[in-house]
Structures are given as structure tokens and as C-alpha cells.
Structure 1
Amino acid sequence: MTRVVIVDDQTLIRQGIRGLLEVADIDVVGEAADGRAALAVIERTAPDVILLDLRMPRFDGIWTIEQLRAAEIDIPVLVLTTFDDDALVLGALRAGARGYLLKDVTLGQLTRAIHTLAEGGTLIAPSITDRMLRAIRSGPSPVGADAPAVPGLTEREQEVLRLVAHGYSNREIAGVLFLAEGTVKNHVSTILTKLGARDRTNAVLRALHDGILD
């Protein structure tokens, strides 16, 4: 059973999400009302996925993601928020979030997103993807202005990267391309190195910005 921690400053929202997820056989192992409290809960419970609101008093969502990264806690973060502002979306993804959904999603969409992230994939709400891509293409490189030029990806690496961009996990990519899962992991590692990216989401953002993916 997939284990999650819910981080949201509104008690009623946390309770509502908990109730829905438990009906869907997802184990809610902890809750927190802000980022600082979340860090303690996450360290204690070691969930598979973190459901995180962005707008919270004192220690907000992006602060929380940055702290997790600084502590080298590699648990996928699924942002679940009412805000679809471009700056917030990009800020969360650049900080290290692996998924971004709005709170108007259905229970089925939410549970699929949780399982996708738990299996190593990424997911962004389709309703905000077009605006996000326009912002990426018109703004600075997601990995910084001083990033080195991108070496060419092989045809196989491009195939893997396209599937990563669609949210496929390593296991699913292996099935699609008829490869061993370990081989896919090696391809993903090489792609991250070539793109100068710290994680899968950042690699996709860099590839979109540089025209490697369309």
C-alpha cells in the first residue's frame, strides 16, 4: 500500500483528503500544517509520496521542498494546491517537486498521480501545461544561466526522455522499450548528466526549454 503524508494548513482539507485516500486504499501515515512540522513528520514516517500545499503561513511549500532537497531526502513531492500561477508552478518544479495538481481533480486523478510518483514518474496537471511551457520557453533556462551547452542525446536516450516527460516510471519505460529496468536507470542517469539536471522533472524542463522535446 502506498504511504503518503499530507501537508496543508487547513485542517478540514487534510481530513477530507485523508478520508478520500483511505477509501482508495492509500495509507495516510502523517499530517502537518506547515513546512517545519512537515519535515519532522516526514523524517519519522518515511512516506512514499508527500502531498504538499504551496500557500501556507510561515514555512510554505517551496521552502519545504528546498529543505527536503538540502537534507537529501529523496521522497517525491506532489504539489496539491488551488493556485495555478505560472511563477508558483515553475518555482515548485525548479525546487524539486515531481508533480503539480490543482485541488479540483477527481479522486481517481489524484490516486493515479500518487501511484505515478511513487513508481518514479512525474505528472503535471494538463490544464496548466501549455502556460507553463510558454513560460519556460520565454524565460531563463530552468537550470540557470551558467549551465553548460547540452551534449547531444542518443536516439535511445531521446526515447527514454520522451517517456519520462509523459510521467512513465523506469519500470514502465522498460516495458515499452523492451529493456531491462537497470538499463533504463542507466539511461536516465546519463540523460541527467548530459542535461546538467538534478532530477527527472528538471531534465524535462531543460529539454523543453532547449527544444530537445516539443
Structure 2
Amino acid sequence: MNQEIRIVLVEDNKAYTKSLLEIIGLSGDMVCVETYATTGSCESAYSADAPPEADVILLDLKIPQKGGLSLVPMLRERAPDSAIVVLTSNDDYRTVLEAIKLGVVGYVLKDTSVADLRRIIREVNDGGSVIDPQLSRHVLAAFREDEGLESGLLSDREREVLELMAEGLVKKEVAEKLGISYSAVALYTSNIYEKLQVPNVAAAVATAIRKGII
């Protein structure tokens, strides 16, 4: 039997916390090991000699005191093996970019379906990264018409691949959309990561937007 995915939940809304605990508890392969309702309580726990061991940290942005984003640098330092996923109602693209630059591997809106949320948790636990498709489209729309100083860093095809992946398409779907082979998409993706010096799609999107590439 596979080991359960250990989750830490940082969320102050009691009703939403209860809902998340039910989603996690009924998943069959996940368990919530700790919950925190303030930045202070989370900081105290992770500042201890033996911080919580978790595979995934679900982090709300609007928790009391300092706000969720303030926790990310500390969480990355104290729990480097935990995948941090922002789960929020905040769809401002500037906040998305800031969160990704700080090192979160997922940014997901709270109206995400139960099935999608479980899929996202499993995906980031396996080393993947996720930006809510609604947010990706919103972010890209704000920058797509800007040529940018480094727009030539990626080829036209690489930009197409990155934009489609940012919208939530997997490599197979990108290949079908563009009418090219899966191996070609895999090669383009590898080139994108190498050129932007990033490890995943979320970081690639953030870097490309910051540089004005997409």
C-alpha cells in the first residue's frame, strides 16, 4: 500500500477548514497532520526543533496577522521537501507572480472542484506544479501583447508550447493541439526550462512573464 500524502493546512476559515478536512479524509490516500489558523501559530510550529513533517502544505493568503505569503520563505527553509500550494480566492495576477517567485509550486482558487483539488495535491506530491487555468489565462492576457525586452529568448514554437501548458494542457494535449509529436513537445519543454533556468511550468510562466517573453 502506498504511503499516505501528509498535508499541513494553513487556513483561518473554520467552515472551509472543515470542508478541506473532509476532502482529505475521504480521499483514501491523504491525511492532514496539522492545521494552523494564524501565521504566528504556523511560525511557532516550524521554528521548533522538530517541525511538522508534510508532503504538501496548503496555504491560504488571507490568514490573520502577517498573511500567507510572508510564511513562504520560512516554510521553504524549514520544510524544503514540502510542496507549497496556495489555495485562495485571490486571483490578482501580481500576487500569483509573487507567490511563484517565492517558491510555491501551485496556485489554485478555492472554487476548484473536489476532484481537481485531490488531483492537484497528488500531482504536486509527485513533483509537478500547477497554476489554476483561470489564473494562467488571466496572467497571460495581461502580458501577451507586450513584446518585452527578451521576447527573442524563446522560439515562436516554444512560446506556443509554454502558453498552452500554462493554460493547463499536459504534453499530450499540447501535441494534439499543435499537430506535433509528443516527443517534440517534450523537447520544446526541456529547451524552455533550460533557457529560462527553471525546474517546472509554474516557474517558467512566472519567469517568462517577468522577462516579457509571453
The reply to whether TM is greater than 0.5 is yes
Corresponding residue for residue 101 of structure 2: 94
- Sequence identity of aligned pairs in percent? 29
1:98: Cα distance to partner?
1.1
Structure number with larger C-alpha Rg? 2
Shift of the 71–134 alpha-carbon distance from structure 1 to 2, 3 Å rule, reads farther
Q: Quote the residue 2:204 is aligned against.
A: 203
| Aligned partners of 1:77 and 1:99 also within 8 Å | yes
Deviation per CA, 1:7-61: give whole Å up to 9, x if none: 0112332122112210112211110112332245456332111111001121311
Q: In 2, Cα distance between the equivalents of 1:116 and 1:122?
A: 7
What is the RMSD computed on CA atoms of the aligned residues? 3.8
Structure 2 gaps, min length 5: 172-181
Q: Counterparts of 1:3-152 in structure 2 under 5 Å? A: 3-25=6-28, 26-41=30-45, 44-71=51-78, 73-136=80-143
- d(CA) in 2 for partners of 1:196 and 1:207? 11
What is the SS of the residue equivalent to 2:33? Answer: strand
Report the alpha carbon displacement of residue 201 of structure 1 after superposing the two structures with TM: 2.5
Distance 1:50 1:210, change over 3 A: same
Return the TM-score normalized by structure 2: 0.69
How many residue pairs align between the two structures? 192
Matches of 1:59 and 1:125, distance apart in 2: 24
Task: Work out the CA distance in 2 between the residues paired with 1:121 and 1:98.
Answer: 7
Q: In the aligned structure 2, how far is the partner of 1:34 from the partner of 1:137?
A: 37
Alignment-mate amino acid for residue 35 of structure 2: E
**Under a length normalisation based on structure 1, what TM-score does the superposition of the two structures give?**
0.69
Distance 1:45 1:69, change over 3 A: closer
